[in-house]
A = this chain, B = another copy of it.
Amino acid sequence: MSGEDAPEAKTLALDLNRNSPVPLYHQIATQIESLISTRVLKAGDRIENETDLCTRLNLSRMTVRQALQVLVDKGELIRRRGIGTYVVGERTSRKVQLTSLYDDLASAGQKPETQVLLHLTEVATEYIGSSLGLESGAEVFHIRRLRSGNGQQVAILENFLPLEFASITPEQLVEEGLYQILRRRGITMRIARQSIGARSATPEESTLLGVKTAAPVLTTERLVFDDTGRAIEFGQHVYRADAYVFETTWIEQ
């Protein structure tokens, strides 16, 4: 019997292009990732060790390690000193990234529709002002939207942004998602800190979402930072519980 105690390490069919602008470690990572998603590599498979990869691909060890680390951070590989590198189970569902509901609906083949309920500037509350790093009494840009997909209401999106974004028009918000608009303005969103909870819908929310009074809703509160570390958006969103689920991956370091 073989294979149980000392699993054979699988040699990886990798094809590197050293003239590509894509970094070598990234080429390796994405190719291994596709080997996993195409099930050439399966849950529990052990892959080649670092030194073999280095000599076979003529790469420095740090480069190989950087590639593998990318996949460890994504929760697709697990590595143990003295043991080897193993493939975790195939991902059963889409990963949650820093995407918007608009993107989510669009990529699910649905046509997102938006109704702008509120569009104004106002003095920020203490809580929201300090979240965004504003001075006391400063104004914020406040919007509230109803988002639908395929004619069915999905979420009420309430956002607060620094005043410089007040030039975003209701018309733009109907055409595109907020994050798309921010990206086209040169904003790179980098980090989001979010809390997820649930409660009963208020009467107003029930009406807007087209659900029964006090139906369950999924709520999120999100603070987004751009690539300079500045807080650029604070959002309080309410989702129909029967239309939305959040997915996360945690990795214990």
A-side interface residues toward B, CB under 8 Å?
43-44, 62, 73, 75, 77-78, 80, 83, 86-89, 91-93, 96-98, 131, 133, 188-200, 215-218, 223, 225, 227-231, 241-242, 244-252
Contact = CB atoms under 8 A, between A and B. Distances in A.
Contacts of A250: 96-98, 191-192, 194
A175 B87 CA distance: 34
Contact of A44 (B131, B199, B229, B246): B229
Contact of A133 (B44, B131, B190, B192): B44
A231 B89 CA distance: 8
A31 B188 CA distance: 28
Nearest to A44: B229
Contacts of A223: 89, 92
B195 A247 contact: yes
A241 B87 contact: no
A97 B229 contact: no
